[in-house]
Amino acid sequence: MLTFIGLGLSNEKGLTQEAMDALKSADIVYLETYTSPLSKIKIPKAQEVSRTFVEDGRKILSESSDKNLILLCYGDPVVATTHMGLRVRAERNGIDTKVIHSASILSAIPGETGLHSYKFGRTVTMTRAAPAKNLYVYHSLHANLLNGLHSLILLEYDSSSNFFLDPKAAIRSLLETEQEQKKLVIPPECFIIVCSRVGQSTQRIVGGKASSLSKKNFGKPPHAIVLPGELHYTEEEALRHVCKIKDDVTGNSARVKLPAVEMVSKYVTKAKKALEGARSRAQKEGKRFDSLFENVELYTLDAERFLNEGKYELAILSIGYAEGLLDSLNFTNQLDVEW
Amino acid sequence: MLTFIGLGLSNEKGLTQEAMDALKSADIVYLETYTSPLSKIKIPKAQEVSRTFVEDGRKILSESSDKNLILLCYGDPVVATTHMGLRVRAERNGIDTKVIHSASILSAIPGETGLHSYKFGRTVTMTRAAPAKNLYVYHSLHANLLNGLHSLILLEYDSSSNFFLDPKAAIRSLLETEQEQKKLVIPPECFIIVCSRVGQSTQRIVGGKASSLSKKNFGKPPHAIVLPGELHYTEEEALRHVCKIKDDVTGNSARVKLPAVEMVSKYVTKAKKALEGARSRAQKEGKRFDSLFENVELYTLDAERFLNEGKYELAILSIGYAEGLLDSLNFTNQLDVEW
């Protein structure tokens, strides 16, 4: 039998009563040391094992085929793919498996920040290595903001080199990506939150401008960053009164516009001006395109209406159509239309 | 001092060591009974209190101003807005607050299903009451699927009437919404997962077609439903070998298309056909619109290219423009273009 037991967010104090019972009847207890730099953990019988040992898994599998083996993991176990891989291999080999859950950063962050858990979008992990991967982080943050959702950004930890991506470095990297991408996902003045050592006695939640937090030291890991989307007033209250954030607490969704909204707004203005010019030129030249002009006008108004109704595809289609109608006069040499 | 303590997913066995220590030094212990129908909980000193009592909160606040008061809650506390409201009121009144976290359904579900936690989108709650609210659930599921993400659907629980929305009823309601909305979010043959009593000894994870699960009984609450988005092969393996799901395990994102993709595909076909017709009619009538026709063709090809590149806004704009160009011949009575 292979039992995965969650250590929660701090040390052995995060073990549940169910976990304590299971530990009593265990034959072998392994303590995984790689997933996060917790406080020193004291558990009788437990042998510390490395990431490689768990990933390889052969000893664990052979021992758990006839013994009660426990693998202790940070947080709520099996959320990590390594554990699930091991669990699948065990079950395929006819070894029973079980998880005894404990606290996880995934639920503790909403609990400690007051941000509503159902308003979090996709969670992302930032790594030091690949800028391409962090571009994916940026796009995920963008998608969450467009939907008004908060983003939880976990930071890479590598036990072999004892490397934990520092919040400063992570924020700087995101600010650099912002300078290239310019989607207003994380401009220097935007409001973000750094959550350090959540669930431990030294927990600290700091909120402020990205630019100023990119210069702050947050002490020992683990850390996570939250980019809030739309903020409900109860969320703002919690950030101010529970997390004691003095800086301006503001959501980040309002400034992020769908590409469709920007596109249609811009082209509607252009089309209206071009139509006005075309009408006056046609009059001067004594030409008449009444039906065409009327339709350009109607489809431009349609585009605005669809935009207001949130029907973005129809809005773009309408303004494209209006442009095409008007521009046809150029291609058929009937009138010089200027854009 | 007001301390919120998580009970985890089952009974008092979900309390952590830290929680046990805190309970020893507590003056008053309240046990909230409303959030979920757990197994009977045995905690010395604990007085059961109702939802109304916690929402009102005045007794809790006055007592915790000079005593060590503990509020025991299902799962990981303060994720519920009621708790956070109470925490904010306490802090505003100068009362220190603290949370001792425990296991939450939010992290246990990825752990038990093998679905990657970072591939979950927005979590939604389904209620029995408002169809409008469930329409919002449907749209959230749609948005998650479009992004390849899994959806966790929590089901309403009302302690006052001891009502827990049954998975059967929830699935049926979603299937009905599908019949009206027709976005292929949850057609009868799609693969979904019902997670019952997660973290308890009677836990059961059942996967299968929505239509067949809508007729199944899942026993005692709590339940949650998962609609998987794109499935990685390791996720499929976990569902088959850990959850022992015999039915076809398939993701649901592939069949869900962006409105833009459908729109552009349809209009490109229409525009090509209309252009072909217009060219042959122009030839018959001895008229020439070479430059216009050429541009209709180029912008139609552009639309296809942008679509393949995932540039949906530009794809729609291009096809709209191509349509407008071609249709102008109708409005200026130069040629009869049929669509």
- Residue B17 touches partner A, C-beta closer than 8 Å: yes
Give the model's confidence band at B131: pLDDT under 50 very low, under 70 low, under 90 confident, else very high: low
Q: What pLDDT shows up at residue B34?
A: 59
Q: What is the pLDDT of residue B39?
A: 61
Q: Is A185 on the interface with B (CB under 8 A)?
A: no
Mean pLDDT value across residues A32-38: 65
Q: Give the best-scoring range by mean pLDDT among A127-141, B25-39, B238-252.
A: B238-252
Is residue A52 over pLDDT 70?
Answer: yes
User: How many contacts does A have with B, using Cβ atoms within 8 A?
Assistant: 261
Structural domains of chain A sorted by starting position, each given as residue range(s) with its CATH number in brackets? 2-103 (3.40.1010.10), 106-241 (3.30.950.10), 259-331 (1.20.1270)
Mutation target to probe the B interface, by most B beta carbons within 10 A, among A21, A115, A249, A313 is A313
> In the numeric block, which tokens belong to residue B143?
């948005």
Chain B contacts in chain A segment 186-225 (CB below 8 A): 199
> A126 vs A140, A169, B118, CA distance in Å?
11, 10, 12
pLDDT digits (tens, 9 = 90+) for B274-319: 999 999 999 999 999 999 999 999 999 999 999 999 889 999 999 9
Segments in B259-311 forming alpha helices (H):
259-284, 290-308
Residue contact B321–A321, C-beta within 8 A: yes
Q: What is the pLDDT of residue B132?
A: 62
Average pLDDT over residues A46-57: 91
- Residue B162 — very low, low, confident or very high, per pLDDT cuts 50/70/90? confident
Residue by residue, DSSP assigns B94-162 as: T--EEEE----HHHHHHHHH---GGGB---EEE-SS-HHHHHHHHHHHHHHHHTT-BEEEEE-EETTTT
Show residues of chain A in contact with B14, CB under 8 Å: 16-18, 101
C-beta atoms of B88 and A318 within 8 A: no
Predicted ipTM of the assembly: 0.86
**Which pLDDT does position A310 carry in this prediction?**
84
Q: Indicate if the pLDDT at residue A44 is higher than 60.
A: yes
Place of tokens 């595809």: A313
- Structure tokens belonging to residue B153: 């659907």
Section B156-160 average pLDDT: 76
A297 touches chain B (CB under 8 A): no
> Which residues of chain B have a CB within 8 Å of the CB of A91?
241-242
Nearest CA to B12 out of A22, A75, A17, A24 is that of A17
CA distances from A28 to A72, A93, B140 (A): 11, 19, 45
State whether A149 and B110 contact (CB < 8 Å): no
What residues in B contact A241, CB-CB < 8 Å? 88, 91-92
Q: How far is B188 from chain A (nearest CA, A)?
A: 26
pTM (two decimals): 0.87
Confidence bin at B79 (pLDDT 50/70/90): confident
pLDDT at A218 over 80: yes
CB B299 within 8 A of CB B319: yes
What does DSSP assign to residue A222? P
CB contact under 8 Å between A107 and B79, yes or no, is yes
Cα-atom radius of gyration of chain B, to the nearest Å?
Answer: 28
Q: What is the mean pLDDT of residues B184-197?
A: 97
**Structural element, H or E, at residue A168:** helix A167-181
Comparing A31 with B130, the larger pLDDT belongs to A31
